[in-house]
Amino acid sequence: MPPTPDAAQAPSVGPDRGRADACPGALRLHPAEDGHLARLRLPGGQLTHRQLLAVADAADTLGDGEAEITSRGNLQLRGLAAGCAADLAERLRTVGLLPSDTHERVRNIVASPLAGLDGRGAGGNETADWIRELDQALCAAPWAAALSGKFLFALDDGRGDVAALNADVTLLAVGDGRALLRLGRARRATAVHDPVPAALDAARRFLDLAAGRAWHPREIQDELPDGDVPLPPFAGEPPALGQVGGGLSVGLRFGRADSAQWRLLAETLPAGRTARLTPWRGVVLPGADPARLPHLADAGLRTTPGGPWEGVTACTGLPGCAKSLADVRAQAARAVAAVPAEGLPVHWSGCARRCGHPAGRWVDVLATAAGHRVTVDGTVRDTEENDTAEAVAEARNTPWRRPK
């Protein structure tokens, strides 16, 4: 469905590819079956105490009382009234969540959520500076407004977690302020000594070359210059839940939390620290007291690693999305309860778009008219709804085999 007009500006220019870039933002709301949707870009997934409370208040006052983390570590509000865009924008500006009206949809920056907290990564102490520098540079560059709302920058501290997301432009820290720059899904990278300007220049060169033909470098990868440094395989592991290094890590079922849970997270965050939302739909709270873990668990947040909910995600599904064939979140929850299983990540999709699916190897559960289609490593199994839970449990424990 086409987005609603922006509340305070003309729509940002974006690559055409024969149709408009309909990616929602904080100013341009998207109509859905459960009301309008706003997507708040959070570079590095960062939210201060004040911003967490502002999000909770906006969810209560303007939306359905919940906020959800996206697969890029951004935040979405749902159930919004069509006429609330100006009110929402003012709330966001007041707490610093809307630094640029013209560039708000292109501030897509994911970063290693444990950078500087656990002693891992070659550039742990540099990543925060890169986030701030890249966000400011993006907002200051007039040409950057032409990037798609889907264009993603990944700032990896060297551990390979967000590098595995196959972002459009990736910086992989190697120490001493240097990085490897990867464009799209190239197999080789380029060593750069001034990482943020290099990343910005790579995005601009892509725009010039794409000339409106593509939203992502991977779509014209053969036309892009390759680097000269072979890249290692990336594990792409999310932060473990519980106490991690110098902070706490919690998970949200389906990435959603109600306003009370968001306020509890704000209360748990020490003064002067910034929460980090992760692309695995969790929250890292730097400096938080481990004694708070039982309170977070009692509030319904996941605080211990493992278990059948580990790696379970789903798209919006019914009733929020008209394209969906089923309430896949409810189906996923019933499947977890009926046949608890651990293993591969599993994503439930209400339609073939598979919105929000994870990167890497995962079990694909697609709603069909008769039930579900469960796919892993290219092997497909069609099931009726009553048989899906068992099929998913079996698929999550499938040993690696080459796809057919």
Question: What number of other Cβ atoms are within 10 A of residue 43's Cβ?
Answer: 23
Question: What number of other Cβ atoms are within 10 A of residue 399's Cβ?
Answer: 5
Per-residue pLDDT, 11: 34
Residue 28's alpha-carbon distances to 71, 74, 355, in angstroms, are: 20, 15, 19
Per-residue pLDDT, 86: 95
49-62 and 259-268 helices, crossing angle to 10° = 170
How would DSSP label each residue in 155-172?
A: EE-SSSTGGGG--SEEEE
Judge if the upstream peptide bond of residue 319 is cis by omega within 30 degrees of 0.
yes
Per-residue pLDDT, 17: 54
312 and 334 Cβ atoms separated by less than 8 Å: no
> CA angle, 38 as apex, 318 and 9 as ends, to 5°?
140
Give the whole-angstrom CA distance, residue 252 versus residue 230.
36
SS3 call for 241: coil
Per-residue pLDDT, 38: 97
Per-residue pLDDT, 82: 87
Mean pLDDT by 10 residues, the chain (404 residues): 32 46 89 93 98 98 96 95 94 97 97 94 89 98 96 97 96 96 96 98 96 92 93 89 95 96 98 96 97 97 92 91 93 94 93 89 94 94 94 90 56
Per-residue pLDDT, 209: 94
Per-residue pLDDT, 2: 30
Nearest to residue 316, comparing CAs of 285, 287, 284, 356?
356
Per-residue pLDDT, 13: 38
Per-residue pLDDT, 66: 97
